Structure 1
Amino acid sequence: MKPLRRVRAADVAELTSALREALGGGDAVWPVPDAPGVETGAGRPPQPGEVDDDVALVVETSGSTDAPKRVMLSADALIASADATADRLDGHGRWVLALPGHYIAGVQVLVRSILGGGSPVLAADGPFSAEAFAAASARLGADAPRYTSLVPVQLARIVDRADRDAFVAAALRGFDAVLVGGQALAPELAARAEELGARIVRTYGSSETAGGCVYDGRPLDGVGVRIVDGLVELSGPMLAEGYLGDPERTAVTFPTDRRGTRWYRTGDLGELAADGRLRISGRADDVIISGGVKVVLGEVERAVRAIPGFAGAVVVAVDDAEWGQRPAVTVADAAASAGLVELAAATDAAGLVPAARPVWLLRLDTLPQLASGKPDRRRLASLLAESAGTASTPGTEDSARRAN
């Protein structure tokens, strides 16, 4: 056993130093947010003082669709992930850190920077902005490949600003790769970024895989992908040791097959195309039964996001006395002028069943987010439930406008 050291994620220099020591066999690191009590709040077990010798990092999941989990990662897993990323890109390079250091995507920017022989450039001391991001990129230098990692909402802010700010546009073009993950990237947003000259790399992975391990649908070297009962399972040297203090969940989530290969059951629905690319349909726990028909909310969201102005739209379920549950759309965009008729047409055009047509549209000034930058789906579901309870029967354009 060895000590588990808590480090404030906002102190990037201290966290980078602690991670460097952990990668070399030193004390394990647990990056925590600045808000006091967050890591020991309601529903979370108390913090242990020690972990197994193999553990280098404990990182808490974002909890966007489930209660947060504490994932244990070894130094070997973190290094394997970072090296595989470098092999897929243009080698180790310099990074702009634009993500919270207490989530795996932010941690991996630090690990990749350490293995690249340097430290990351911090995008901002406060809330994320396109201007601060561009200023940070100017401090990277040009002596090594230039990278950054973003979630879609950050990329959207940069692209929106780049349309009218040449400095921001040049900064975005100046990266050898812009990794985008955490949630599905809307095709419209990706196309806008690429038109500005950005090299966008869509990443798929999680804390349990030490970050992204499938890039643009193709697994990194050493990563195995299979589909079991419609669920995506992943293998490779970057898999986590398991969940801190939860051996039962660990055993279920990380099974070992007869050949001795250890797999991670992601909980995501997906399929492998003929060319070997992985396509994610949505979360298994986001499948609803509407009028006796299965509807994957992730597929509804993908169809809706193809509509101009809806690139950041989020689809959640609302209860319905007749159908059981129906899809509902939340959006925060002044340009999102389409209504329910257009949303239904989009899902029809995507080949989805009629039960997939959204029946509620809630427009908000901003969508609530988790600290990771992902949309807070539980909060959105609550807002939609409140809206549905105060407006008329869903399913008409009139009710959608009253829900604004």
Structure 2
Amino acid sequence: MTLHLPDADGTLRPYEPRTEPFTAAPGAAPGAPLASRTVFSAAHVVADPFADVSPDGPAAVDWDATLAFRRHLWSHGLGVAEAMDTAQRGMGLDWAGAAELIRRSAAEAGAVGGRIACGVGTDQLTATTATTATLAEVRSAYEEQLAVVEESGAQAILMASRALAATAQGPDDYLEVYGHLLRQAAEPVVLHWLGPMFDPALEGYWGSSDLDTATDTFLEVVAAHPDKVDGVKISLLDAQREIDLRRRLPQGVRCYTGDDFHYPELIAGDEQGFSHALLGIFDPLGPLAAEAVRVLDTGDTAGFRALLDPTVALSRHLFETPTRYYKTGVVLLAWLAGHQSHFTMAGGLQSARSLPHLARAYELADRLGLFPDPGLAEDRMRTLLSLYGVTS
């Protein structure tokens, strides 16, 4: 049946949903482990829709649905990047909730043999204390979270810290804090550079708003501790900068792209190397992304690009400015795909994007065949439209 989807100008236009979902690519072995690239999906959390919480209170998580979604990602061969931005870390999910998420997901990963890496930050320092914290307090907050992740058995991802951005006086403070953490880390970690387009509070990270200067400091941290850095995650939405940076990494240190605008060409790589992946867009793209990498595993770069390139329009739409609200579209697609029973988010962020934005996300995802049951997705989209007053 025809859906009438709203455009940005307020008009409705007819759309005919597809009837068949995505099918695996020819030549790819379904369910086979990914071989040529290490691929993490940053996974969202499923809110508890019946919890009596306020937007300013701690998130109430539906643990069964949240862990089921992680099993879905693992079943396709993807790793899970846990308790990061996609999980509304710092946007509804506080440190207490993140710590529980880390423990539960790491235990689940151990039970099913899934790969997991978890975010280590400083968000137990509140918005008020973060701006007045000392470097010692920032370091201590990092240490507390690193201990939780390591005790869970997961790999650690040292995330960018709002508190460190507010406290550090220059590059030397970053070198001191990160050097201390890397020296005490039990296993190699992933260093995460998240740009201000994802979080405006991270402007000037690594001690400078000049990205060339910041890159030099970032690479100085890596070069001083190459045995403690498994890889670096770059989320700057600047493909050439990522390519230039990965060519300067020490031997054996991976580059994990976090570029949700240019991921196909960055993962495919060039004659001098390639990026692995740690991406929020691989939450809704999980099965398709896994199949694309399996095609790449066979040496078929053109086949990989043929599968993944068409997804970029959806990703660019979900991550459009203000980029930090991309999670709303991610959760919408999880609901439409049947991974959760509702479209509710921690902190009420289901309202962070307009109906035209959500309608376009549905259309782009439907055209890709992302919904296992297109009829269910159509019915749910029709329900959402009716809540906004679309009756035709």
Fold similarity call, TM over 0.5: no
Question: Structure with the greater relative contact order (CA < 8 A, sep ≥ 6): 1 or 2?
Answer: 2
Structure whose residues are more often strand by fraction: 1
Structure whose residues are more often helix by fraction: 2
TM-score computed with the length of structure 2 as normaliser: 0.31
TM-score computed with the length of structure 1 as normaliser: 0.30
